[in-house]
Amino acid sequence: MTHPDTPVPIALAPRPTPLLEQAITAGGGTVTELDGARALVWDGEPDGFPEQLPDSVEWVQLFSAGVEKWFDTGLFDRHPNIVFTSAAGAFAHSVAEHALTLLLAGVRNMPEHLRATTWRQTEFFPRVGTLRGATVTIVGAGGIGRELITMLAPLGARIIAVTRSGTPIEAPGVVETIAAQDLPQVWSRTDHVVIAAPATPDTRHLIGKDVLSQLKPTSWVINIARGSLVDTDALATALREGTIGGAGLDVTDPEPLPNGHPLWDLPNAIVTPHDSNPPHLRTIAFADHVRENVARFASGRELLAPIDVSAGY
């Protein structure tokens, strides 16, 4: 990695983090105060972010992969000439691994096995499935989705990848790539669905009553994106009535999922508390992302995960 002769001045806020300081230095930067800095690495939530940034700042690296909360702050409107990048893709492996865990647990009937207190082999047999030969539609084949593809392919799954543009993804296991606008064409030929798309006004309740009714009684719906992409009431009804086989949710709407919510009691729902990307893994992955982006910024190369303000992510 080639570094500039003079390290790039980069501010780190809202708190000092040794791992991120090391990442900035390793990428060819030097940690400095915000005044006079050319870039800002923000390791926090929207609350507390500076109302105004110095004219010297050209680039801001945000901590989160999903940035819907940042649009509500007006940050991008206030600074139209600054390049903002998210952490999209930085946490892909951990989240994809969690998605695969939820999917396999559902297909292999693990919820019922884990609840069992007696030997019920014959009764369980019909509900134990396999991913070999199954068609898995990944809605949002970005960083997480592509990482999941590499995990599903060796298991023999047939993958339909859904992207915004529909540009073909050439990867083992991918049998088709479609544009998001063509999603209605695939539900009836899908065995399982993994949701990995960004949360935008256009994706709210992407999975609702109509979509659920087109899936199979054995289909599992996995959501590791944002809770708003699924109509929770419609999902709970579909699970209760057996319209689909089950759901694995690391995100919910509302979130946290309240005590007493119907999803807690449904035997075909697996709910995990948004821990697909736990803090100790997240910090390490974010530091790697920061190091790479600092190196790219220092050498004038294209940054990873630029935020497309017009698209909403």
User: Where in the sequence numbering do the catalytic residues fall?
Assistant: 226, 255, 274
Sheet containing 192-195: order of strands: 174-179, 158-163, 135-139, 192-195, 220-223, 246-249, 269-271
Distance between start and end Cα atoms, the chain: 29
CB-based contact 80:134 (threshold 8 Å):
no
Range list of β-strands (E), 180-232: 192-195, 220-223
Q: How far apart are CA 298 and CA 236, in angstroms?
A: 49
For tokens 């309240």, name the residue. Answer: 258
Q: How far apart are CA 164 and CA 123, in angstroms?
A: 42
In sequence order, which residues have a C-beta less than 8 Å from that of residue 173 and are 6 or more positions away?
A: 149, 152, 153, 157, 158, 159
- In single-letter form, the type of residue at position 247 comes to A
Number of H helices, E strands in the chain: 11, 12
3-class SS at 100?
Answer: helix
CB-based contact 58:35 (threshold 8 Å):
no
DSSP secondary structure letter of residue 54: -
- In single-letter form, the type of residue at position 233 comes to D
163 CA to centre of own chain: 14
Nearest to 152 by CA among 212, 193, 202, 180: 193
CB-based contact 148:196 (threshold 8 Å):
yes
